[in-house]
Amino acid sequence: MRNNLVSATLWFLPLVFLGLFYFYPLGSILALSFNRSGSLLQPFLDLLASAPLRGVIGFTFWQASLSTLLTLAVGLPAAYLLARYRFPGKSFLRALSGVPFVLPTLVVAAAFDALLGPRGWLNLGLRQLFGLDAVPIHFVNTFAAILIAHIFYNTTIVLRLVGDFWARLSPRIEQAARSLGANSWQTFRHVTLPLISPALAAAALLVFIFDFTSFGVILILGGPRFATLETEIYYQTTALFDLPTAAALALVQLLCTLALTLIYTRLTSRLSRPVELRAPSVITRPFPSRRARFLASVFLLFLALFFAAPLGGLAARSVTRLEGDRGQATSVQPGLTLDYYAALGEDQRGNIFFATPTETVRTSFLYAGSTVFLALVIGLPASWALARRGDALLSRLLDPLLMLPLGTSAVTLGLGFIVALNSPPLDLRASPLLVPLAHTLVALPFVVRSLAPALRSIRPRLHQAAAVLGAAPAQVVRHVDVPLVGRALIVSALFAFALSIGEFGATAMIARPEYPTIPVLIYRLLSQPGALTYGQAMALSTILMLVTGGGMLAIEKLRVVEIGEF
């Protein structure tokens, strides 16, 4: 009876929050769409009868599958090196790989455009070096751009899920196999791979979910030739105003995501059981030979350049004056300039709802602070409930619900907020709380995925030993739980803050025009012609990149014994 009461108390606030701000808005927009169609099944019948829409569904699965395989191909060797070896810059590389994950899509698109676009650094250099008239590298609006951007975004998931789990495995198991005559490949195939397979499968599923629901990458870097479920929902809603078709597509997407998250939560529950945690100095070791050091250095250098080059190209563009409209130059003027940063407070076009970058940064930080507070208040009891060993069945049923916002169309959720939250007592359309609520939906799964494994990792014997020694419950929390979970709580807060600062999709739909966030202001600047506004966008994007990068560095410094999924 007491356990049931504790479970009900812990789950009350998270379920109420999801019910009011996820299921209710989503149900409202779906009900509105189906009511307009006049039939519940008609949108799905139209969907099955439409060859273009069937093609959209097929391409969505194809690009997500291929992107996932390529991400694993890049991330798995990196996860092995990070888990087993010591080398300079290890923490920096982990943090660098995590920066793209919390950057808004348009900033990443601007970064790739600054590096590989028609007037990007590489094309400019090749044209000037060889005297070419045509652009030698065509990157934007290609399928390759989609795949590379997805790898850029999601490799950090493999590093964190697989690498962290790999780092906790005792190397003595592999050493025992080698002593029995197994070579490196046999040891990996018959010993290591079966042990890391739950983490590998969980990482693959999570990467697939993010690629499956990708929006900005497809829309900006892929171009109009490539349509997925997410972009088609946006097109059907904003261009054709066909809410029944958009709702049918959204429901197909939601059902697929729900099935994937059910499998994912089952896999992650196998990764978060109490394990014997060992110091990294015991598990990691130097490279055994010069050849191994050379090969690892080549791969790690490639990985560092892969993550740093687009971000460095963006930063360089923000301090370089280029000739031509919107930075579309054929040459670079010598020398550096800070004019774009100095001009961040200027409004060249007299916009009615203009907000200076200083005001925008203040607004973004207020939204992010509110998001951190809400995400922790809601996520902590949910994580505690998931970590309770007596509620395994209930946790398996409710844990997937916390992942659903990540797999739901931001367009659908935004419309649901507008449709559902428009009358008392939930008339929030003009409220500044609407943006933190949307950001909390995005951040909550990351908070729970960081806190729940840390809570699960606390060995029950530690509590029993403390009680035997006479410790009161409050002393157990202070001297046992807090040292093990306190830093995971800070990491969760940093993740929520970084995600809120960089969130763009939902914010663009529901934020009040006079209170834009940093990504929304960047989008406004990018949408306006002129070299100055383009340079301002590059400068503000660089500032956002530095803020999120600092957050990822802090996360790496504060993580304890590699606990958590992120």
- C-alpha to C-alpha distance for 299 and 295, rounded to whole angstroms: 6
Predicted pLDDT at 1: 54
pLDDT at 566 exceeding the cut of 60: no
Q: What is the mean pLDDT of residues 200-213?
A: 89
- Is 566 within a domain? no
Q: Which domain holds residue 235?
A: 2-274+290-333+342-558
CB 384 within 8 Å of CB 536: no
Structure tokens at 265: 């939560």
Q: Give the closest residue to 330 by CA, choosing from 119, 535, 135, 531.
A: 119
Instruction: Examine the pLDDT at 470 and tell me if it is beyond 90.
Output: no
Question: Radius of gyration over alpha carbons of the chain, in Å?
Answer: 25
Q: Which residue has the higher pLDDT, 523 or 501?
A: 501
Within 19-50, residue ranges assigned H as helices are 24-37, 42-49
3-state class of 322 per DSSP? strand
- Model confidence at 76, pLDDT cuts 50, 70, 90, reads very high
| Predicted local confidence at residue 560, as pLDDT | 55
Q: Answer whether residue 411 is part of any domain.
A: yes
Report residue 440's pLDDT band, with 50, 70 and 90 as the boundaries. Answer: very high
Cα 250 to Cα 30: distance, rounded to the nearest angstrom: 9
pTM: 0.81
CA distances from 284 to 173, 429, 494, 524 (A): 14, 52, 27, 47
Domain assignment of residue 283, yes or no: no
Cα separation, 22 vs 28, whole angstroms: 10
pLDDT band at 282 (very low <50, low <70, confident <90, very high): low
9: enclosing H helix or E strand: helix 2-18
Can you read off the two tokens belonging to residue 272? 């978060």
Q: How far apart are CA 220 and CA 210, in angstroms?
A: 16
The three-point CA angle 35-37-38 to 5° equals 65
Cα-Cα-Cα-Cα dihedral sign, residues 240, 513, 357, 377:
negative
Q: Please write the tens of the pLDDT for every residue from 18-37.
A: 999 998 888 887 777 667 66
Q: Which helix (H) or strand (E) holds 243?
A: helix 243-271
| 313: Cβ contacts below 8 Å, ≥ 6 apart | 111, 114, 115, 120, 121
User: In the structure encoding, which two tokens stand for residue 163, read together?
Assistant: 């690498």
Judged by DSSP in three states, 513 sits in coil
Assign 124 a pLDDT band (cuts: 50, 70, 90).
Answer: confident
Task: Look at residue 274 in the predicted model and tell me its pLDDT.
Answer: 41
Q: Does the pLDDT of residue 146 top 80, yes or no?
A: yes
pLDDT digits (tens, 9 = 90+) for 28-63: 877 776 676 666 666 677 777 778 888 888 999 999
Could you give the angle at which helices 410-420 and 229-238 cross, rounded to 10 degrees? 40
Q: What is the C-alpha separation between 197 and 203, in angstroms, rounded?
A: 10
Task: CATH number of the domain at 480, please.
Answer: 1.10.3720.10
Computed over every residue of the chain, the mean pLDDT equals 78
Q: Please report the pLDDT score of residue 85 as a whole number.
A: 84
Q: Convert 331-381 into a string of H (helix), E (strand) and C (coil).
A: CECCCCCCHHHHHHHCCCCCCCCCCCHHHHHHHHHHHHHHHHHHHHHHHHH
Distance of CA 501 to the CA centre of its chain: 12
Residue 320 within a domain: yes
Residue 42, CB-side half-sphere exposure with 13 Å CA sphere? 10
SS3 85: strand
What value does the mean pLDDT take over residues 343-367? 72
The residues near 344 (Cβ < 8 Å, ≥ 6 apart) are 356, 357, 536, 539, 540
Separation of alpha carbons 146 and 226, rounded Å: 9
Q: Is the pLDDT of residue 345 over 80?
A: no
Residue 483 within a domain: yes
The first and second tokens of residue 239, run together, are 């261009």
Q: Residue 280: inside a domain, yes or no?
A: no
Tokens 């169309």 identify what position? 409
Q: Is residue 282 part of a domain?
A: no
Residue 66 has pLDDT above 90, yes or no: yes
Q: Measure the CA–CA gap between 413 and 421, rounded to whole angstroms.
A: 11
Predicted confidence (pLDDT) per residue in 312-333, tens digit: 888 888 888 765 544 444 455 5
Tell me if 285 is assigned to some domain: no
Q: What is the pLDDT of residue 369?
A: 93
- List, in sequence order, every beta strand (DSSP E) within 83-167: none
- Longest CA pairwise span in the chain (Å): 81
What is the reported pLDDT for 275? 44
Cα dist from 511 to 49, 268, 405, 437, 456, whole Å: 37, 35, 18, 11, 37
Confidence band for 3, pLDDT divided at 50, 70 and 90: low
Q: How many domains are there within the chain?
A: 1
